[in-house]
Amino acid sequence: MVDTAQPESFPISRRDSFNTRDTRTRNLKPFHSGDIKILLLENVSAKAVDILKKAGYQVEFHTKALDNATLIEKIKDVHAVGLSKTKLTEEVLSHANKLLTIGCFCIGTNQVDLSYAASRGICVFNSPFSNSRSVAELVIAEIILLARQLGDRSREMHEGVWNKVSKACYEIRGKTLGIIGYGHIGTQLGVLAEALGMHVVWYDILPVMPIGMSRAANSLEEVLAEADFVSCHVPETPETKDMIGARELALMKPNSYLINASRGTVVDIDALAAALNSGHLAGAAVDVYPTEPLANGPGFESPLRNCPNTLLTPHIGGSTEEAQRMIGVEVATSIVKYIDSGASVNAVNFAECDLRAIPSTDLTTVRIVNVHQNVPGVLRQINNILADYNVNKQISDSKGDVAYFMADVAVNDPKEISTIYEQVTAIQENIITRVLF
Ligand SMILES: NC(=O)C1=CN([C@@H]2O[C@H](COP(=O)(O)OP(=O)(O)OC[C@H]3O[C@@H](n4cnc5c(N)ncnc54)[C@H](O)[C@@H]3O)[C@@H](O)[C@H]2O)C=CC1
Ligand SMILES: O=C(O)C(=O)COP(=O)(O)O
């Protein structure tokens, strides 16, 4: 593959290149930081914009998603993209000539073709738990709203109808919450639910430690049969597609409630609408949909509209000031660390590697960062190239078909930097090579 990740200002002069702002360790730079272009979509947090601008990059910020044609045009020229729900398919990414990294300013990464990105040497980051608490709190609110039919009562009042009823309205104390997917959000939710006096039973494909008094079920069916409220917190995977369909809804207790704030593909929406309209389920709260509008505004359509005791929210599970700020800091920091120092810690599609910082007194060491196909013999070729230099430290790891390599190498003459760069780039299995000064 042609490597265009190294911009025009490479190689730069030794005097420009060594940054000695930090008195203890050297801040590495990928070439001139001002060359780095970042495309931020979908109104990611202002905190992220601050961090990326402070790193010296050129930041293009959009409050909305871009249409596919514009996205393809813009992605050709940038080194990093930040997004939330924009789909980065193989087709879109195949136009990304300079892209080094993608920041998903959210938890889910199903919107990005992760393996294709890795095969092109593009490292993807997300924020694995910064909005977990926000989602768990929303679900707790929904459990109470559903149990008291508050969505319907509120709508009636706005329509001018006074409808004071207690029939089929309940306390949640003593009821059973069934959690499908006991990860970051599922465990938070379980803790909050127990604090409100609920019993918690959960199902997960992994053996996870039960928190508090909660109990692991042996199967999804066991949870469906026991729970008064079932809440889904699994990722979007081929296995979770339509995980809750007509069969599973029929297995749920009569007059129970379903909540889905995970991904729209997890629940069969037509089957859910049928279960609500037939009265088998007493209510549902849905935050995510098989297809979601890319921008705010009218025109939302779903079979769930106007179903009884059904709360519909526009994918706002993680939409709090706290969560967005934390996500902004976390993902922007990962992007800067990856671009400037090569650290891939917290990457979702790359092996996670880092090297300890280079002391500020060391003005001769450069960092070679290389992504290559994970086949035998590549490390030998790289180390042959580095054999005549003093390699202070190096690390290599792989994930699937792609391997990641970092080495800190002492060079005597700046001209040697270009030589090493050109030789490593020429290795047939090379995907991307960068030299950080
Ligand atoms: N509505 C919203 O705004 C938000 C939605 N989400 C969605 O929630 C999902 C869950 O988030 P986290 O709890 O942070 O993820 P997590 O990765 O911490 O937990 C997911 C759990 O589901 C389990 N799991 C996976 N496949 C399963 C299966 N087939 N059956 C049973 N369990 C299975 C995993 O083992 C894991 O323990 C995310 O993947 C994302 O799609 C996340 C944040 C905000
Ligand atoms: O974090 C996630 O996976 C979410 O679903 C939250 O999405 P958002 O960033 O609010 O569009």
pLDDT tens for each residue of 226-261: 999 999 999 999 999 999 999 999 999 999 999 999
- Contact in structure between 352 and 397 (CB atoms under 8 Å): yes
CA of 319 to the centre of ligand 2 (A): 8
pLDDT of 31 reads 58
Q: How far apart are CA 41 and CA 217, in angstroms?
A: 40
pLDDT at 20 over 60: no
Q: How far apart are CA 17 and CA 11, in angstroms?
A: 9
Catalytic entry in 263, 367, 372, 434 = 263
pTM of the model: 0.88
CA of 203 to the centre of ligand 2 (A): 23
320 CB near ligand 2 (under 6 Å): no
26 pLDDT band, cuts 50/70/90, is confident
81 pLDDT band, cuts 50/70/90, is very high
- Locate tokens 């671009």: which residue? 339
Q: What is the mean pLDDT of residues 301-306?
A: 97
What is this model's ipTM?
0.99
29 pLDDT band, cuts 50/70/90, is low
* Helix (H) and strand (E) counts in the chain: 14, 16
pLDDT at 7 over 50: no
For a mutational test of ligand 2's pocket, the pick from 41, 45, 64, 131, i.e. the residue with the most ligand atoms closer than 8 A to its C-beta, is 131
Poorest-confidence range of 22-36, 45-59, 252-266?
22-36
10 Å Cβ neighbour count for 358? 24
Q: Is the dihedral of CA 32, 33, 36, 37 positive or negative?
A: negative
In 3-state terms the chain splits into helix, strand, coil percentages (rounded to 5) of 30, 20, 45
The residues, ordered by sequence, that sit 6+ positions from 382 with a Cβ below 8 Å of its Cβ are: 368, 370, 372, 405, 407, 424, 427
Is 263 assigned a catalytic role?
yes
Q: What is the mean pLDDT of residues 192-211?
A: 97
pLDDT at 23 over 60: no
Residues constituting the chain: 437
- Locate tokens 């039960």: which residue? 210
- pLDDT > 90 fraction of the chain, expressed in percent and rounded: 89
Angstrom CA distances, 294 to 83, 84, 87, 314, 317, stand at: 12, 10, 10, 11, 16
